[in-house]
C-alpha cells in the first residue's frame, strides 16, 4: 500500500511539473511574433531588398524589432533617435553607412561584402524599423 501511495505522489508531482512547464512555455511564447511579410510591413522594393541583406548580414547580431540586442544593439527605432545609443554619434545615413562599411568596436566591416547599392538598400530598410 505504501508503494502505491508513493507512486501516486510522484505521479501528481510529475503532472504538476508538466503543467507548470506548459504554462511557462505559453507565457514565454507570447513574446514571439510571427515574422511579417514585406507586404504586411508595407516595404517598397528597395526596403525589401534591404531586409534580405539585413537577414543575411545583420540579423545574427542585431534584433530588428526590439531594442534588446544579441551581440550588438537592437535596432528598433534606430533612426527615430538623434544619436546612436552606444556610440553617441549622430543618427543619420552618413554615420550609419560608415559603421556598416568600416565596422566599429566588435562589429565587422562590410565594405568588402556589400556594395554601395546594397548599403543604400539596407539603410532604406533600417529607416522602417
Q: What is the pLDDT of residue 68?
A: 82
Angle between helices 116-126 and 93-102 (to 10 degrees): 130
Say yes or no: 51 and 25 in one domain: no
Looking at residue 125, its pLDDT comes to 97
Domain enclosing residue 13, as ranges? 1-32
CATH number at residue 107: 1.10.760.10
C-alpha cell at 47: 526596403
User: What is the model's pLDDT at position 70?
Assistant: 84
Lookup result for grid cell 561584402: 113
**Residue 18 shares a structural domain with residue 51:** no
**Is the domain of 101 the same as that of 56?**
yes
pTM exceeds 0.75 for this model? no
Q: What phi, psi does 64 have (nearest 5°)?
A: -75, -35
Handedness of CA 67, 62, 54, 106 (dihedral sign): positive
Question: 66 and 83 share a domain?
Answer: yes
Tens-digit pLDDT profile for the chain (129 aa)?
555 556 566 656 555 555 544 444 444 444 456 788 999 999 999 999 999 999 999 999 999 988 887 888 989 999 999 999 888 889 999 999 999 999 988 899 999 999 999 999 999 999 999
123 in Cβ contact with 48 (< 8 Å) = no
Amino acid at each position: 500500500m505504501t508503494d502505491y501511495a508513493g507512486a501516486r505522489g510522484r505521479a501528481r508531482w510529475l503532472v504538476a511539473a508538466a503543467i507548470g512547464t506548459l504554462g511557462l512555455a505559453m507565457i514565454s511564447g507570447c513574446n514571439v511574433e510571427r515574422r511579417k511579410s514585406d507586404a504586411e510591413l508595407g516595404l517598397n522594393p528597395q526596403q525589401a531588398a534591404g531586409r534580405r541583406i539585413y537577414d543575411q548580414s545583420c540579423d545574427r547580431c542585431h534584433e530588428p524589432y526590439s531594442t534588446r540586442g544579441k551581440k550588438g544593439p537592437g535596432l528598433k527605432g534606430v533612426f527615430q533617435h538623434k544619436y546612436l545609443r552606444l556610440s553617441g554619434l549622430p543618427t543619420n545615413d552618413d554615420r550609419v553607412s560608415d559603421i556598416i562599411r568600416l565596422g566599429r568596436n566588435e562589429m565587422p566591416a562590410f565594405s568588402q561584402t556589400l556594395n554601395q547599392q546594397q548599403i543604400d538598400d539596407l539603410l532604406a530598410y533600417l529607416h522602417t524599423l
